[in-house]
Structure 1
Amino acid sequence: MFTIDSFVLHVTDINASKDFYAQTFQCEPKVLSPTFVALDFASNVSITLKQSSALTLSSDVTDGGTELSIPVADKSTFDARFEEWRAQGVEFAQQPEESVFGWNFVTLDPDGHRVRVFTHQ
């Protein structure tokens, strides 16, 4: 079985993305180089940000297009997270709604990567 260490998001502006994730997830980013930042905001995986103009091996994939799914324990935690992020001015692609897998909402980072927060309760 494999273990996932991190997910790498290609970003246009490393500093704008670093600030977004640091503020939204209230974590301290680790600047590994001027074009590479790591964020440990989950207990078992990190998100790393890589400046797309500095990729080695270059990529034709444009920025955005990734979705991070983040579960929360219950509806009250879900509602609190939504209100907290709304007060911070986070951009929402989807307001809270109930679906077949529970309640969820979707935010967008500066490059259009989606961050979905959900709860089954």
Structure 2
Amino acid sequence: MSNTFMLLYVTDAEKSALFYQDLLGREPKRSSPGFVTLTLENGFTIALWSKDGAVPAADFTGSSTELVFAVDGAVKLDANYADWAGRELKIAMEPTDLHFGRTFVALDPDGHRIRVVAPN
């Protein structure tokens, strides 16, 4: 398969695209009304689809999944946390050392979890 991506159902695709553009520094691509994609440097794509236009209808949003970004080391993770907290993102979990590494969790405007982890 080619063009594999993660799809997040959102309230407003344009608003969410601006959020992720600012957070990730990637330019969104609008392919149709209510549907926006952002492709990361490694080729992974995040798609944002306004839930009121999704077919079949999306029946929930929020924290049923996590978008996870791995970083190299706790220093980088703590710098990401300081940056994101400074942008006044909702933080669901401050930096914490868990069995798999140091991690924190932020929320996007629709309540989707965004986890940053520095694996052990």
What TM-score do the two structures reach when normalised by structure 2? 0.91
**Cα pair 2:17 2:48 within 8 Å, conserved:** yes
Q: How many positions carry a matched residue from both structures?
A: 119
2-side partners of 1:45 and 1:68: how far apart? 11
Residue in structure 2 matched with residue 62 of structure 1 by the alignment? 60
**Cα pair 2:102 2:118 within 8 Å, conserved:** yes
1-side partners of 2:79 and 2:92: how far apart? 18
Residue in structure 2 matched with residue 118 of structure 1 by the alignment? 117
TM-superposed deviation, 1:111 = 0.7
**Cα pair 1:9 1:66 within 8 Å, conserved:** no
Structure 1: which 4+ aligned runs deviate by more than 3 Å? none
Gaps of 5+ in 2: none
Amino acid of the residue matched to residue 62 of structure 1?
F
TM-superposed deviation, 1:104 = 0.2
2-side partners of 1:83 and 1:77: how far apart? 10
Q: Deviations over 1:74-102 (max 9, x none)?
A: 11111111111111111100000000011
Residue in structure 1 matched with residue 80 of structure 2 by the alignment? 81
Identity level (%): 34
What is the root-mean-square deviation in Å for CA atoms of aligned residues? 1.5
Residue in structure 1 matched with residue 37 of structure 2 by the alignment? 38
Gaps of 5+ in 1: none
Amino acid of the residue matched to residue 68 of structure 1?
L
